[in-house]
């Protein structure tokens, strides 16, 4: 594989991941927005570290996850949310989604200064300044295959958010 070929592949895989993450975030936000509008009483009972969502929507990923869990626990129709293995364990689903979110931050916010081919694999070499002490810049490699895997895992998460939106929407029609 020529230099341009593996660089182009890395760019394509990263682009697909970022686009897939954006679609998934939109599906998550649509679920939160739709559910908040259809079930405002449940929104008013949600509390995340003293933050009342009825006053201001969740904007952080942790706040959104807390609200998703609250809705799942509080709204009966969401208890039927399922995947191919049966009922969804919302706690595990959100742990897995948060893991991809954190990985997305490494990919999207790391300063990639090189695309490296090593042992038949393609890696991005990235650097990132810390948000907390110690104030030491971190450098890391991201396997492009892991980015492609995360992209395919996002299909599952996006499907879950879409199914949840459909459940709450249908419940109001019945």
CA–CA dist 26, 106 (Å, integer)? 20
pTM given for the model: 0.89
Cα-Cα-Cα-Cα torsion 34, 40, 45, 47, nearest 10 degrees, comes to 40
User: Measured in whole angstroms, how far is the alpha carbon of residue 119 from the centre of its chain?
Assistant: 30
pLDDT on residue 76: 94
Question: What DSSP string describes 109-143?
Answer: HSEEEEEEEETTEEEEEEEE--SSSS---EEEEEE
pLDDT on residue 8: 92
pLDDT on residue 55: 67
pLDDT on residue 173: 82
pLDDT on residue 42: 78
Q: Which two tokens stand for residue 99?
A: 């893991």
CA–CA dist 148, 8 (Å, integer)? 14
- Positions of the chain with pLDDT under 70: 1-4, 47, 49-52, 54-55
pLDDT on residue 138: 86
Spatial CA neighbour of 148 closest among 3, 23, 21:
21
| Residue 74 zone, left/alpha/beta (φ > 0; ψ -120 to 50; rest) | alpha
């Amino acid at each position: 594989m020529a230099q341009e070929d593996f660089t182009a592949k890395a760019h394509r895989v990263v682009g697909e991941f970022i686009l897939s993450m954006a679609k998934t975030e939109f599906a998550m936000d649509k679920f939160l927005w739709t559910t908040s509008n259809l079930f405002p009483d449940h929104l008013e009972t949600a509390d995340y570290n003293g933050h009342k969502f009825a006053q201001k929507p969740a904007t952080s990923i942790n706040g959104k996850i807390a609200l998703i869990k609250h809705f799942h626990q509080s709204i009966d129709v969401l208890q039927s949310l399922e995947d191919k293995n049966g009922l969804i364990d919302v706690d595990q689903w959100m742990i897995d989604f948060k893991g991809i979110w954190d990985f997305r931050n490494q990919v999207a916010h790391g300063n990639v200064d090189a695309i490296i081919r090593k042992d038949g694999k393609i890696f991005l070499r990235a650097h990132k300044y810390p948000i907390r002490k110690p104030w030491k810049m971190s450098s890391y490699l991201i396997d492009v295959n892991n980015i492609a895997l995360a992209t395919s895992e996002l299909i599952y998460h996006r499907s879950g958010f879409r199914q949840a939106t459909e459940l709450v929407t249908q419940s109001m029609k019945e």
